[in-house]
Amino acid sequence: MNADIDATLSSGGTQSLCVIDDGGAVVYQRHADGAIPPASAQKVIVAAAALADLGPAYRFTTTLASPQRPQGGVLHDNLWLIGAADPVLVSNDLRGGVKILEAQGLKEVRGGVRVDASFLSGPERNPQWEASDAQYGFSAATSAISLDQDTVEVHVTPASEGLAARVWLEPPSSIVTVRGDVLTVAPGLQTTIAVNPKALPNDFTIGGQVAADDRKAVLYVPIRGIPLYVGDVLTRMLGQRHISVEKPPSIGVAPGHTYALWQHRSMPLEWIVSKMLFESNNHLAEQLLRTVGRIVNGVGSDAAGIAAERTLLRRYDIPRSELNLVDGSGLSVANRSSALTLAALLDDDRRKRGAKIYAALPRAGLEGTVRYYELGEARGRVKAKSGHLAGIESLVGYVASAHSGTFAFAFLFANGDDAAGVDSRITRAVERLAEF
């Protein structure tokens, strides 16, 4: 095995490589304890921490509440929106809550919508991330009240050729501004649209063209100041159901005693973890990291979540040589992990923890972000998580081999200038493992 894998992976920049058999023995290693940026492969760590510390059945809650009960259709107080870090709450969930309030007979809120996002703390966006990534949805904010993964949909619907297309937001918001025009061009021409942030938060310019025969184009734009934005969205939703709100939305901490008027529960955590791993979803990873910090250490911060991850790795006796974690998603190049750490964690999960991460991972060559790996005989026998940043390529997971059981593996590469070549060599190495 050593000669075969070495021959396949010996080039490609700085490496950290490890393979562990289903008895827990390291059967292949090359600089296995050397730590390099794992990119999105790091998500298996926050997955392990969330599944262990929150539990697969954990559900996030979002609540509409007030210190008083409505009387005669009038709420003589504020309507509180209380978030508990649900990473998959969407606008239609909130609309459902508003419909419940309408069905209860609510007609008027004499106060305003107040948003309690105190369950989590810290900056919305990790300061270790590249500033230039702030305009992209993959670096969306983190908040205890998260809506639509903290992005807004910018819809562009073509008009007649030569006229400006219609541009509109979903959900509607008075806090987000999009200025500019998109020209409707002849059918069959390429649609090219760009949305760029301006100096002020949530102020964007839009430009480009949309073909007249396109139904519509949708772009996802990250929002800043999430709690106030969601408060504004909720206020508008109430108005659309003819429930008047006297005061503008604001942020605060809910009183100790409130009456719940509506509560939404998320899908179970195991579903959310699988979604995170399938999509390589950075937003879900960051929400999970801070939630773990809040539940384990009482503080919903990145630092508290990372401390909980380290505690878990120590409790599981996972090697942690040169481990450095600064986020949950792996988006920062300041993260460092060895292949031994990741392979040992995956091996531990499958042999000792009920194979929860194993069950949550997509099948390489078939599903998720790893569907593009062009596997031959190994297709369908590899469950994995990939990672890609500039100069960094990684793949970690499991291979069901022909004669030697299941291997846990971690292949990390950095400082390479041929991403496609590195991925090709990783693919060949995984296929070779499947033959043993």
DSSP-assigned letter for residue 315: H
Mean of pLDDT over the chain: 97
Q: Please determine, for residue 20, whether its predicted confidence score (pLDDT) is greater than 90.
A: yes
Q: Rounded to whole angstroms, how far apart are CA atoms 241 and 230?
A: 17
Proportion of the chain above pLDDT 70, given as a percent: 100
**Confidence (pLDDT) at 273:** 99
Q: Tally Cβ neighbours within 10 Å of residue 228.
A: 20
Mean local confidence (pLDDT), 145-163: 97
Catalogue all structural domains in the chain, each as residue range(s) with its CATH number: 2-57+268-435 (3.40.710.10), 61-123+225-265 (3.50.80.20), 146-222 (no CATH)
Amino acid at 113: V
Q: Tell me how far CA of residue 407 lies from CA of 15, 70, 88, 375, in angstroms.
A: 19, 60, 33, 16
DSSP annotation string for 109-143? EEEEEEEE-TTS-S-SS-TTS-GGGGGSGGG----
3-state secondary structure of 236: helix
Q: Please determine, for residue 416, whether its predicted confidence score (pLDDT) is greater than 80.
A: no
Q: Rounded to whole angstroms, how far apart are CA atoms 270 and 274?
A: 6
pLDDT bracket for residue 137 (50, 70, 90): confident
Question: Between vectors from CA 379 to CA 27 and to CA 14, what angle results, nearest 5°?
Answer: 45
Q: Please determine, for residue 188, whether its predicted confidence score (pLDDT) is greater than 90.
A: yes
**Confidence (pLDDT) at 80:** 99
| Weakest-pLDDT range from 2-6, 47-51, 121-125 | 2-6
**Confidence (pLDDT) at 322:** 94
pLDDT bracket for residue 152 (50, 70, 90): very high
**Confidence (pLDDT) at 133:** 87
Q: Please determine, for residue 327, whether its predicted confidence score (pLDDT) is greater than 90.
A: yes
| pTM (2 d.p.) | 0.96
Q: Please determine, for residue 417, whether its predicted confidence score (pLDDT) is greater than 90.
A: no
Q: Please determine, for residue 11, whether its predicted confidence score (pLDDT) is greater than 80.
A: no
